[in-house]
Structure 1
Amino acid sequence: MAEDIVTGRQDGVSDDALVAATGKSWAEWFAILDAEGAQDWKHSVTARWLDANFPIGGWWAQGVTVGYEQARGIRNPGQRQDGSYEVSASKTLPLEQQETLDAVIAAVAAELGAPASESRAVRHITARWPLSGLEGQVGSILATAAPSKAGKTSVSLTWSKLEKPEDVAPAKLRLQGWLQAAAEVG
């Protein structure tokens, strides 16, 4: 089922991984945050409180906060703080970084046209397609190619500013399709 391809934070980080990184399980973090009344806090307040009170680092504080918000029904999987939705897909291609971005651009451009912008003079090179104005489309698509390692490059596609939760799963399927097409082009 298409909806099953979009999961929450807890589905992506096991209890074992969370304990190894933070010293606590999801249930322990949720109990701590519930005891503090965090269900009524804004996202940024929760993340800052975690970072200030526990030595887990900002990245894990954000992750625990998102997992808590999803578990308590404050935020849906893929939902951003502004209420919009975002979804990503990634793939490793057996190409160098520039070739990988070229393959992704070719795959996405076959449907959406050339990207509005590219940035190739940075460590993580990107291409962006704003979708406003395209019939039936909202948000934007960002392709990001990480630096190559041993002739392979990890590339991600992120679709931002989706309006409704039911838009997330179909958007992820499209992203995965473009990445598969890029793998075939490359």
Structure 2
Amino acid sequence: MGTSVGGSAEGISDDAVVEATGRARSEWYSMLDDADAATWRHKDIATWLSDEQGVDAWWAQHLTVAYEQARGIREPGQRQDGTFEASVSRTVALDPADALQALAAVVAAELDVEPLALNLTAKHPTARFPLDSGEFVLASASPLGDGRSSIGLTWGRMTDGTRLAEIKTELREWLQSVG
């Protein structure tokens, strides 16, 4: 299922991995191969990295997904349960509640559906939009300070990865409509 969506390792330099974990990605992959981790469950790989190797939980998850993609266990955009997910984000000059309200309005207009849940009072406001296909769109906003927020869209529960690049392009266009 070839898509033009990049893997987990793209966008994060090996220098950043070394700085955060003490080893290059290739070293972690070799250690995981030596431990026969390609036959393990996702959770077991992440636990081995965090508990036995002392890797921070976020970096353990990142390395686990990157390793699974590098070894052909998981495709880019594929979740642990086998479904696929596309996510995009950008920064806007709005507080989180205003940013989410604006983003939710764009998503509602584009999908012609109202959010199932809209939480504007949380520190990280979210709105979830159910789709008839069983898929969903999640809109989110997180405070960055100085009146800015990171807004994001996730299109989830896709049965395969054939639409990932197309969906990411569409979601990026929706984000550009905010702020």
The alignment's TM-score, normalised by the length of structure 2, stands at 0.93
Match of 2:115 in 1: 115
Q: Find the aligned partners of 1:100 and 1:120 in 2 and give their Cα distance.
A: 10
Letter in 1 for 2:169: L
Letter in 1 for 2:138: L
Letter in 2 for 1:151: G
Q: How many residues align?
A: 176
Higher helix proportion: 1
* 1:12 CA drift (Å): 2.3
Match of 1:93 in 2: 92
Task: Give secondary structure in 1 for the equivalent of 2:90.
Answer: strand
Residues 63-122 of structure 1, C-alpha deviation per residue, up to 9 Å, x if partnerless? 111110000000001100110001110011111222111110121111223211101231
Determine if contact 2:100/2:120 at 8 Å carries over to the other structure. Answer: no
* 1:148 CA drift (Å): 4.7
Structure 2 stretches lacking a partner, 5+ long: none
Q: Find the aligned partners of 2:151 and 2:116 in 1 and give their Cα distance.
A: 18
Match of 1:128 in 2: 128
Determine if contact 2:101/2:120 at 8 Å carries over to the other structure. Answer: no
Q: Find the aligned partners of 1:97 and 1:44 in 2 and give their Cα distance.
A: 32
Match of 1:27 in 2: 26
| Percent of residue pairs identical | 44
Task: Give secondary structure in 2 for the equivalent of 1:165.
Answer: coil
Task: Give secondary structure in 1 for the equivalent of 2:9.
Answer: helix
Match of 1:151 in 2: 147
Residue 42 in 1 paired to residue 41 in 2?
A: yes
Q: Out of 165, 173, 177, which is 1:177 matched to?
A: 173
Letter in 1 for 2:90: K
Q: Find the aligned partners of 1:124 and 1:96 in 2 and give their Cα distance.
A: 10
Task: Give secondary structure in 1 for the equivalent of 2:164.
Answer: helix
Determine if contact 2:85/2:157 at 8 Å carries over to the other structure. Answer: yes
Q: Find the aligned partners of 1:123 and 1:99 in 2 and give their Cα distance.
A: 12
- The equivalences for 1:158-169 within 5 A come to 158-169=154-165
Task: Give secondary structure in 1 for the equivalent of 2:87.
Answer: strand
CA RMSD of aligned residues (A): 1.2
The alignment's TM-score, normalised by the length of structure 1, stands at 0.90
Q: Find the aligned partners of 1:148 and 1:47 in 2 and give their Cα distance.
A: 28
Q: Find the aligned partners of 1:174 and 1:43 in 2 and give their Cα distance.
A: 30
Task: Give secondary structure in 2 for the equivalent of 1:81.
Answer: coil
* 1:165 CA drift (Å): 1.1
